[in-house]
Amino acid sequence: MEIRRRYFISLFLSFVLTALAGENFFQRSMVRNFDRPDSGIVKIENPIGQLKVRTWDREDIEIRYRLYAEAGDYNESRNLVAKMQITVEESYGELLIKTVLPFDKIEKARFPYLDGRRSFDTAWEGRQIKISTYSGTSVQTEIEVSLPENTSLIYEGIISSGEIVSFSGNLDLSLEAGNLVLASTSGKQNVLIESGEIRLKKPGGDLIITTKSGNITGEIDDSLKIEFTTQSGEIAIEAENPPTQARISTQSGDFYYKGPTIPSAEIDSQSGDMDIEFTAVAECSISVTSQSGEIEIQRDKPGFAATELITESGKLSHPAIEKGLKYAKLENPEGAGFLHVTTQSGNIKVK
């Protein structure tokens, strides 16, 4: 695969430079097109900023960039933007695109120094993410990527926000902090975000999302498999068409689900509460486990063919269960599927 020759010219010639209507900020934009690599893999390394990704019906790859800086005066802003570079190369058959910022080092919690002198912090303005110095200097990047169908995208950032919309292909995304929207996607999507918000707008395919303190919320639709893991974040999802398989795990975060039963599901939490509403019950095998969290399950009639409830020191609540029991198995010949719920010290309530 060859990167198109005309894009080997100087970055200065490929940039469209725009001075904004102000005295202290400056931006430049560019559009670059590339042949799809033979491996079908595109990797983007962008420490900070916004990302938008979509699939289109062309065979080439288009990258749109906007680089922005705001400093003490116009010249300083322009100099900062001039130091921001976009590099493109082939690496092991992949198309590798990097954003190079005018900083020696970037960390999530502390941005050490600009030219060895200034400390950094971050600011959120809606979805606008920028790095700011204590003296007021800030930089931003925005990237829009259009990819052919069945292209694999690897994206690595430190602080970023992203919108992956109408994307058909494999996605591997990792951030230390940021917000992400997944909408109308297909393929295998592997997302790792330490802290932030992950918003689901009916993504399909396989979804593997891991976060420490981030929340996972929204709607899923026609997903084949979901695997959501969080430590302290909340997981709240609804579904019209449930996935075929689900694995949900939280430590202290709460879990909420509303939708039809999932054919095969394992849901567990250490201390988070769980509120599950099954709007329709079909053949399934569902296991819900908690150590100290509260569990409440609502189910559409006629319910499950078999429901098994177990607690060590908590309470069981169901019209057909005698008060004080720690184990109960309910059978319903008109129902479908199997539900197993167990806690150590938490209470279980089934409606």
Task: Give domain status of residue 159, yes or no.
Answer: no
Q: Considering 105, 121, 154, which residue would you say is the last residue of a domain?
A: 154
Task: Give domain status of residue 142, yes or no.
Answer: yes
The verdict on 97 and 112 lying in the same domain is yes
Q: Considering 195, 217, 241, which residue would you say is the last residue of a domain?
A: 241
**Position 228 confidence tier, pLDDT thresholds 50, 70, 90:** very high
CA 52 to chain centre: 13
**Position 114 confidence tier, pLDDT thresholds 50, 70, 90:** very low
The verdict on 13 and 95 lying in the same domain is yes
Task: Give domain status of residue 161, yes or no.
Answer: no
Domain encompassing residue 205? 170-241
Q: ∠ at Cα 73 (67, 118), nearest 5°?
A: 75
C-alpha distances in angstroms, 312 versus 158, 215, 327, 345? 43, 30, 9, 6
pLDDT digits (tens, 9 = 90+) for 129-151: 444 444 456 778 889 999 999 99
What's the CA gap between 203 and 186, in Å, rounded? Answer: 7
Task: Give domain status of residue 128, yes or no.
Answer: yes
Which of 171, 126, 138 has its CA nearest to residue 48? Answer: 138
The verdict on 252 and 233 lying in the same domain is no
Long-range contacts of 85-91 (CB under 8 A, 24+ apart): 85/11, 86/11, 86/30, 86/32, 88/3, 88/7, 88/32, 88/34, 90/1, 90/3, 90/37, 91/43
pLDDT digits (tens, 9 = 90+) for 64-91: 988 888 877 788 888 888 888 888 888 8
What's the CA gap between 339 and 65, in Å, rounded? Answer: 50
**Position 6 confidence tier, pLDDT thresholds 50, 70, 90:** very low
The pLDDT value given to residue 120: 36
The verdict on 69 and 195 lying in the same domain is no
The verdict on 124 and 51 lying in the same domain is yes
Which of 62, 27, 90, 265 has its CA nearest to residue 151? Answer: 62
The verdict on 30 and 48 lying in the same domain is yes
What's the CA gap between 229 and 216, in Å, rounded? Answer: 9
Task: Give domain status of residue 337, yes or no.
Answer: yes
What's the CA gap between 200 and 181, in Å, rounded? Answer: 6
Q: Considering 210, 241, 272, which residue would you say is the last residue of a domain?
A: 241
What's the CA gap between 84 and 145, in Å, rounded? Answer: 19
Q: What is the value of pTM for the model shown? A: 0.84
The verdict on 122 and 30 lying in the same domain is yes
pLDDT digits (tens, 9 = 90+) for 292-331: 999 999 998 888 999 999 999 999 998 888 888 999 999 9
Kindly state the percentage of the chain with pLDDT values over 70: 83
The verdict on 237 and 258 lying in the same domain is no
The verdict on 102 and 211 lying in the same domain is no
Backbone angles phi, psi at 161, to 5 degrees: -125, 145
The verdict on 50 and 113 lying in the same domain is yes
C-alpha distances in angstroms, 265 versus 142, 210, 227? 38, 17, 10
The verdict on 88 and 232 lying in the same domain is no
What's the CA gap between 172 and 152, in Å, rounded? Answer: 8
Number of domains in the chain: 3
Task: Give domain status of residue 160, yes or no.
Answer: no
Task: Give domain status of residue 163, yes or no.
Answer: no
Q: Residue 207: is its pLDDT beyond 80? A: yes
Task: Give domain status of residue 164, yes or no.
Answer: no
Kindly state the percentage of the chain with pLDDT values over 90: 56
The verdict on 26 and 144 lying in the same domain is yes
**Position 103 confidence tier, pLDDT thresholds 50, 70, 90:** low
Which of 8 and 91 is assigned the larger pLDDT?
91
Structure-token match 């919320």, residue found:
217
Contact 197, 180 (CB under 8 A): yes
